[in-house]
Amino acid sequence: MSGATLATLFLVGLLGGTHCAGMCGGIVGALSLQAAPGRSAVPIHLAYNAGRIASYVTAGALAGAIGYAFGNILPIQRGLYLFASLMLVAMGFYLLGATRALAVLERGGQRLWSRIQPATRRFLPVRGPAQALPLGLLWGWLPCGLVYSALTTALAAGSAAGGALAMLAFGLGTLPNLMLAGLLLTRYRSFAQAPTTRRISGLLVLGFGCYGLFNFWRALSA
């Protein structure tokens, strides 16, 4: 897993985090409201996001291991790379509002989420980090097209460790958006969901996907 790929995943998480703020803004906003009176909500948000990112890392390790098992043949490696780039292109168009294609993937993940979601109630209301951490671990499996786009890159990482590192970079990229969405409540969510913000984010994510497709074409032509 190259440093450039990790940097790209971090930026995709950062730019696509407007989507995260829209999907998860409600739960992270509630964390601030449930904090004990007079106490800072920051430790709760840090614990929640640590759990969420840990789930991403786990999923990335699984995806990387699968990619390693089936991707040792060069054509398969190239196919995985092409798939990852196409998913970023799809995510860019999704953020732009030009397609709802990734919503199909999110609906596909609902079956798993329907089994996980009931367990989240055990940790509500959240009074401190002890409840926020396991809540984040569970909430990290919420069906999300942006996460699935990043997981395709983890699939092409070539190892469990590489896949885990890929999703760690992506997860850290999403962190600023969700921290702000939680601590600033509706003000940041309004900014994140504004059409102009989503268009700029979508164009930049689309650019990363197109750059990946260009590298794929250049590798084939070499």
Range of the domain at 50: 3-221
The pLDDT, as a whole number, for residue 138 is: 93
More confident residue, 97 or 18: 97
Q: Mean pLDDT of all residues in the chain? A: 80
**39-48, 127-136, 143-152, 212-221: which has the highest mean pLDDT?**
127-136
User: Other C-beta atoms within 10 Å of 2: how many?
Assistant: 8
Amino acid letter, 20: C
Question: pLDDT tens digit string along 87-130?
Answer: 888 878 877 777 676 677 777 788 888 899 899 889 888 888 89
**What φ, ψ does residue 184 adopt, rounded to 5°?**
-100, 0
Write the pLDDT tens digit of every residue in 127-153: 888 999 999 999 899 888 888 888 988
This prediction has a pTM of 0.81
In the 8-state DSSP scheme, what is residue 36?
P
**Measured between alpha carbons, how far is 133 from 151 in angstroms, rounded to an integer?**
22
What sign does the CA torsion over 19, 20, 21, 25 have? Answer: positive
Own/partner long-range contacts of 77-82 (Cβ < 8 Å, ≥24 apart): 77/156, 77/158, 78/216, 78/219, 78/220, 80/152, 80/155, 80/156, 81/156, 81/212, 81/216, 82/213, 82/216
Number of domains in the chain: 1
Task: Please give the C-alpha separations between residue 106 and each of 130, 186, 220, in angstroms, as whole numbers.
Answer: 29, 24, 32
